[in-house]
């Protein structure tokens, strides 16, 4: 059975007419600046290898110029790689013929853009079903699907409005409905929420997370915002100057930043929203009793639950409800504020 996972293997992109000629020079240590100065070519991506799990949200994060938008455009081959592989269900997208690539783009991937990319002269429903119209799907069927997704993203009643009659957040909901109406396995979201006001942005993140619980799409989400990456990402890959600096879960990145660059990124993070109870729990001593919290609950949610009930300690349980550890409020608050001694020892050992 197809898994719909994406594997990126040893991907390089060098912009310029003779990019392939300089791959070995880059492999041997030539920097981005040297390549540009000596040969007039631009290093976009350098030896990118990322496994993007099926049915999960992989966030690719980095500052402007890090290569993240270049990377996402390799997945549906809007940009041709210099060398490397982009595997979907084990098939290399980079080797697909014209017809196979067209089918892949139409049926397997859907893209949500930062600037919405809606057609101004078409209504919400017409924008939503545009992809199905291109595919030749019957109007009655496409409209039924479109109306369903318009309702699911919270725009019921706006089907006959035009984009200029909608707020930015509403326009982005149309973009999401359009992508979902195509029923693609892969959702590619390039800085999809970056143009939105902070509150609307958080609202749209919630919409995506709620839908994803049910849909289990393979989502690739590009952002320059660490809070957004940590909220959305089952897995996060951080890029800098076209290279992967670190990849892992949000918790791994916050607890064990790979270098000073990432340490600076995670310094201001609300750790209570990232660290899970199981990470700092202690072994059970004696008969477990008291309030119970799940192992994957974040410290912020767990602390609120405990303080609301007047508890200073709790039993941590696994997915089946079996006790696996103990946690106390004092240790939780310490972990939320600053790296604990235990964590520092872990970092030193790593």
Domain residue ranges in the chain: 53-81+96-266, 271-349
Residue 340: its pLDDT value, please?
45
Cβ neighbors of 335 (< 8 A, separation 6 or more) are 271, 275, 279, 280, 299, 343
Residue 308: its pLDDT value, please?
86
pLDDT tens-digit readout, 288-304: 677 889 998 889 889 88
pLDDT-derived band of residue 25, with 50, 70 and 90 as boundaries? very high
Residue 49: its pLDDT value, please?
96
d(CA 302, CA 323): 15
Indicate the pairing of strand 323-328 with strand 235-240.
unpaired
- The tokens for 34 are 């040297």
Contact 96, 77 (CB under 8 A): yes
pLDDT-derived band of residue 349, with 50, 70 and 90 as boundaries? low
**Pairwise pLDDT comparison (11 vs 350), residue with the higher score:** 11
Does the pLDDT value for residue 114 go beyond 80? Answer: no
Residue 223: its pLDDT value, please?
93
Cβ neighbors of 93 (< 8 A, separation 6 or more) are 74, 75, 76, 77, 86, 87, 101, 104
Residue 284: its pLDDT value, please?
83
Mean of the pLDDT values across residues 13-37?
92
Tally of residues, the chain: 350
* CATH number belonging to the domain at 53-81+96-266, selected among 1.10.600.10, 3.40.50.1370, 3.40.50.300, 3.40.50.2300: 3.40.50.300
pLDDT tens-digit readout, 248-294: 999 899 888 888 888 888 887 888 888 889 888 888 877 767 788 99
pLDDT-derived band of residue 237, with 50, 70 and 90 as boundaries? very high
Sheet holding 243-248, edge to edge: 109-113, 186-190, 218-223, 57-61, 235-240, 243-248
Residue 22: its pLDDT value, please?
92
Indicate the pairing of strand 218-223 with strand 57-61.
parallel
SS3 137: coil
Q: Where are the beta strands (DSSP E) in the chain?
A: 6-15, 42-52, 57-61, 83-88, 91-92, 109-113, 186-190, 218-223, 235-240, 243-248, 292-294, 313-317, 323-328
Mean residue pLDDT across the chain: 87
Mean of the pLDDT values across residues 168-188?
88
pLDDT-derived band of residue 1, with 50, 70 and 90 as boundaries? very low
* CATH number belonging to the domain at 271-349, selected among 3.90.1280.20, 3.30.559.10, 3.40.1160.10, 3.40.1110.10: 3.90.1280.20
- The tokens for 81 are 């790689």
286: left (phi over 0), alpha (psi -120 to 50) or beta: left
Mean of the pLDDT values across residues 218-223?
94
Does the pLDDT value for residue 341 go beyond 50? Answer: no
Mean of the pLDDT values across residues 114-119?
78
């Amino acid at each position: 059975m197809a898994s719909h996972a994406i594997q990126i293997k040893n991907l390089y992109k060098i912009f310029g007419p003779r990019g392939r000629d300089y791959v070995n020079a880059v492999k041997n240590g030539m920097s981005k600046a040297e390549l540009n100065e000596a040969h007039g070519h631009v290093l976009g991506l350098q030896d990118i290898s990322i496994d993007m799990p099926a049915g999960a949200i992989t966030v690719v994060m980095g500052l402007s110029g890090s290569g993240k938008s270049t990377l996402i455009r390799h997945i549906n081959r809007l940009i041709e790689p210099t060398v490397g592989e982009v595997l979907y269900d084990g098939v290399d997208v980079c080797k697909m013929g014209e017809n196979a690539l067209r089918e892949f783009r139409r049926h397997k991937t859907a893209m949500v853009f930062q600037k919405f990319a809606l057609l101004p002269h078409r209504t919400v429903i017409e924008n939503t079903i545009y992809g199905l119209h291109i595919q030749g799907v019957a109007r009655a069927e496409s409209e039924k699907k479109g109306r369903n997704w318009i309702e699911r993203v919270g725009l019921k009643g706006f089907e006959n409005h035009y984009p200029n009659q909608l707020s930015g957040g509403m326009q982005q909901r149309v973009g999401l409905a359009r992508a979902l109406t195509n029923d693609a396995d892969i959702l590619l979201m390039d800085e999809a929420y970056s143009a939105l006001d902070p509150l609307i942005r958080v609202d749209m993140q919630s919409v995506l997370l709620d839908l994803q619980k049910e849909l289990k799409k393979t989502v690739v989400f590009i952002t320059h915002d660490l809070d957004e990456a940590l909220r959305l990402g089952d897995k996060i890959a951080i890029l800098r100057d076209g290279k992967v600096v670190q990849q892992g879960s949000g918790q791994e990145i916050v607890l064990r930043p790979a270098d000073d660059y990432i340490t600076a990124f995670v310094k201001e993070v609300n750790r209570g929203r990232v660290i899970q109870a199981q990470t700092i729990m202690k072994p059970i001593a004696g008969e477990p009793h008291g309030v119970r919290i799940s192992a994957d609950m974040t410290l912020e949610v767990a602390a609120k639950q405990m303080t609301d009930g007047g508890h200073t300690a709790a039993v941590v349980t696994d997915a089946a409800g079996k006790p696996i550890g103990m946690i106390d409020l004092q240790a939780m608050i310490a972990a939320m504020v600053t790296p604990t001694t235990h964590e520092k020892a872990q970092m030193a050992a790593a």
